[in-house]
Amino acid sequence: MRNWLLLVGVLQLSVAGFGCGDGSDGGGEGGAGGEAGDSGPTGSNSSGAGTPASSGAGAGTPASSGAGAGEPTGGPASTGSGDPVAGSSTSSGGETGACAGVEDECPFEAGVEIACRLRFMYGVNYAWRDFGADFGGQSKWSQAGISGKKSQVLADLQDMRAHGVDVVRWWIYPRFYGDQINFDGQGNPTGLGGTSTQDILAALELADQAQVNVMFTLFSFDGFYKTSHNPPNGLSVASMGPIVADAGRRAKLIENVVRPIARTVASSPHRDRMLAWDVINEPEWAMTGPSLYGDDPAFEGDSSKFDLVTHQQMEALAKESAAVLRGETGAPVSVGSAAIKWGQAWTRSDVDFYQVHMYGWVNDYFPYDKPLSEYGLTDKPVVMGEFPINMEAMDVRYDKFVGDLYNMGYAGALSWSITDLNFPWSSNKTTVKAFADQHPCETRY
């Protein structure tokens, strides 16, 4: 990772990535979140079980989940220059560009290449300490952002590191509520709010102290829940749907939210800890209509809950975000696809590696041990970005599952999750460590 600082402006990105979601009203297949949180926090570790609402080869809609808890703020508000600060590349093997002649002591040939190191991206989803409050805080519920709860977050990260975690997938804005983003009178984003800047900088500082690396996930399908107003005890929650659907409003989101996040990372003295970007978690749940590519099934998001957008509109969000994130930081970009059944959906979205999620309902019809070539994903590295850490409903042990991914040519594995009690970290973290101990170099950037 430290090589990043030596490669400023040199390396170019080149091609050689469910569970989760908010709340009780239909969050993602496996994770936790805060739909219930519109009227107040409901506890940081409640969630849903990860089963689809319907069955069959093309079926699968997210189940349900819960929310967060927290503390006060601080830290500088530097925004950086916007110049690329880190070079990285994604690859399926071989030497290219600035990495030619650079020795890699333990290359994992199918891995994601960053700072001339090919590795199996191994770790866990945090994915938050307090849903929707980690970056920006939530003053109405007295929840602090990361900069106001450093000791708790550092303890979490150190525990992850002690149990073999190298990469932590961490969500920034799963929903647009609270203090995180400022809006104008027309509902357009005008900039980062609350303690967002301080919290991004604090997260990278703490990651460096704990010696772990971060994949920041900017948005989630949860952000497409319909706009709601729940005063006096709750929050006004803005939906991303109308913003993403309108090119002009989407441009404001990119320039006033995505770019400032990237520039804040670029300004950090610990920017090398920000390993990769994930534009959006499981966007398919907030989409409607046919897929633009291949034989993927149509998108059938729940229009009673979400402001749905088309594949073309969501792809535009991914492409436009990727260009800014890569341009400002040089780090590789992915989209956290809900299931490999939509394997072709993001193949033309200017991502540097693919990311798919796997739970029991997916595995029943789209098995994890089917070769990637049969899913048509062979041109870029593929990271398993979520799977149940306890292997619930998967009918396979953790060690075999991850070992199979490693041997089949996947580029990484990030289990779900630290804060979801339905998929408990505490009783499964020794198995995470065991795999890392078997591959101590290949699983560490």
Residues contacting 51, CB < 8 A, separation 6+ = 29, 63, 359, 360, 361, 393
3-class DSSP state of 179: coil
Whether 26 has a pLDDT exceeding 80, the answer reads: no
Average pLDDT of the residues in 135-147: 94
Q: Are 123 and 162 in contact (CB under 8 A)?
A: no
Q: Which residue has the tokens 């520039």?
A: 263
Token pair of 327 as six digits: 């341009």
Q: What is the model's pLDDT at position 87?
A: 40
pTM: 0.84
Instruction: State phi, psi for 261 to the nearest 5 degrees.
Output: -60, -50
C-alpha separations of 355 from 86, 169, 297, 410, 418 in Å: 22, 12, 18, 10, 19
pLDDT (tens digit, 9 = 90+) per residue, 319-369? Answer: 999 999 999 999 999 999 999 999 999 999 999 999 999 999 999 999 999
Pick the closest to residue 428 from 159, 121, 209 (CA basis): 159
Residue 245's nearest CA partner among 183, 309, 290, 330 is 309
Rg (CA), the chain: 19
Q: What percent of the chain has pLDDT over 70?
A: 78
- Choose the weakest-confidence range: 83-87, 168-172, 326-330: 83-87
More confidently predicted of 202 and 40 = 202
Joined tokens for residue 164 = 């073999």
Question: Does the pLDDT at position 40 exceed 80?
Answer: no
Question: Cα–Cα distances in Å, from 325 out to 82, 171, 261, 279?
Answer: 10, 15, 9, 9
Please, what is the average pLDDT of the chain?
84
Each residue's pLDDT tens digit, 281-318: 999 999 999 999 988 999 999 999 999 999 999 999 99
pLDDT category at 100 given cuts 50, 70, 90 is confident
